[in-house]
Structure 1
């Protein structure tokens, strides 16, 4: 896809080498995009999968070997000035971006009996507020006539219930609503806005018991992998997808709940 070369893509939430964010970075780098990614190790260190602190720098070096420009920053998306920090750094280091992938997410397990204001606020600040404001600031700075892309990562909460993930499902549902309305607002600017639900994806959090439980629900006979969603994104950011906007795409291998 020669038309992709030279464009700048921003990917949030690419801390872990085995994660979806890193897979997106790799896939777009292979197509010739210059890459700017964010990471937040404090979050990943507290999660069951944890993280080696040098993983973001290993990813950066890996991407640089593909002959593109790469930059990154550690960024706490719960901070009010995070959107401006991010886009100021992108513009200073690479130029005004063409593509925004809102991949960063906050997720902990909770249900009606355990959810509290603090946890709900953390989910909201990353999954809804940051996604909305980074998208808004991206659009305000977009200086091309066409070819802009915003892609949000959602979680299929309207495909069925997600017991035990009440705060996560609630805030990701808001991302679906954001996608549909923002796509109408930004269409005159030459920016398409879509969301992708990758379904259950093995990014290192799945135990063997979880894999065995989920695998029969995939008619294609395997668990979803990070590169699956990355390949879908590669299509959506291409010129071939310039007529697709305002869509929630369920790229989850036919997963049956």
Structure 2
């Protein structure tokens, strides 16, 4: 009988993957008002990792768009179905983040609803439409996108920093995750100047925010999801964009959601100040 090969030792405890790496953590996900959107996909991933989640929505915005709005009850129920920890919860509430007072108020409501502590802030919301190219963009378009796409995000981060600073030193799990749109990659977004400007501001400020929040044990990262099928485009243009991916398909909401959810875990605790592209090899 041959000699049995020696089995490798079991991995140390900290190398064994926890199936619920966000158990006991809490998250606020903004712009999670449609089941076809990235915010909904992120919320489901966080819930599947064990987190309690507060969903922010602004139904009037989506109702005015061609894709329309979902019922809040349906979105909440969908995220609740993904809950992996029986003790975790899913809650939801509205907020018009164009109002300068609303980011801090929304953050406070989420903190209260989730039991007094918020760990993860996912600033996913953005203004759709109300934009133009260099020739047609005007002051009103610029101001509208500034208010929603950049100012409100910075005020949410400010509220989160103040909240985390008031927690006991070294409280784990502090995360800020923002969204950009590849406006700095070849070609840019010449038809959406106002949107590209504000998303570029978030990308540019990521490292500064990461430095500012490091003392509160909070990491800050920004994700560019690339073109994602959120039910806003069909037809020949849709097919032409799909052909520019090596996989021959658009990104789906769960593609960036997997990255964002991982960045919220302790495994990503050494990653901060980064703008990360999650584009599936999209050829611009």
* Number of equivalences: 255
In structure 2, runs of 5+ residues without a counterpart are: 1-17
Correspondence for 2:111 among 82, 91, 99: 91
Structure 1 runs of 4+ off > 6 angstroms? none
Hey, what does 1:135 align to over in structure 2? 157
- The CA deviation string for residues 136-195 of structure 1, in whole angstroms up to 9 with x for no partner, is 110110125132110001001111221211111011000101211100111121000000
Hey, what does 1:253 align to over in structure 2? 280
Q: In terms of mean alpha carbon deviation, does 244-253 or 92-101 score higher?
A: 92-101
Superposition TM-score, scaled by structure 2 size = 0.87
Does structure 2 retain, via aligned residues, the 8 Å contact 1:132–1:178?
no
Shift of 1:39: 0.5
Hey, what does 1:234 align to over in structure 2? 261
Does structure 1 retain, via aligned residues, the 8 Å contact 2:57–2:93?
yes
Instruction: Give yes or no for the alignment of 1:50 onto 2:65.
Output: no
Instruction: Give yes or no for the alignment of 1:59 onto 2:75.
Output: yes
After TM superposition, the structure 1 = structure 2 runs for residues 198-217 of structure 1, keeping only pairs within 5 Å, are 198-217=225-244
Hey, what does 1:153 align to over in structure 2? 179
* Whole-angstrom CA distance in 2 between matches of 1:180 and 1:49: 34
* Whole-angstrom CA distance in 2 between matches of 1:205 and 1:222: 15
Instruction: Give yes or no for the alignment of 1:106 onto 2:127.
Output: yes
Superposition TM-score, scaled by structure 1 size = 0.95
Correspondence for 1:75 among 92, 95, 101: 95
* Whole-angstrom CA distance in 1 between matches of 2:37 and 2:93: 17
Shift of 1:64: 2.8
Q: In terms of mean alpha carbon deviation, does 67-76 or 121-130 score higher?
A: 67-76
Hey, what does 1:17 align to over in structure 2? 35
* Whole-angstrom CA distance in 1 between matches of 2:21 and 2:232: 36
In structure 1, runs of 5+ residues without a counterpart are: none
Hey, what does 2:245 align to over in structure 1? 218
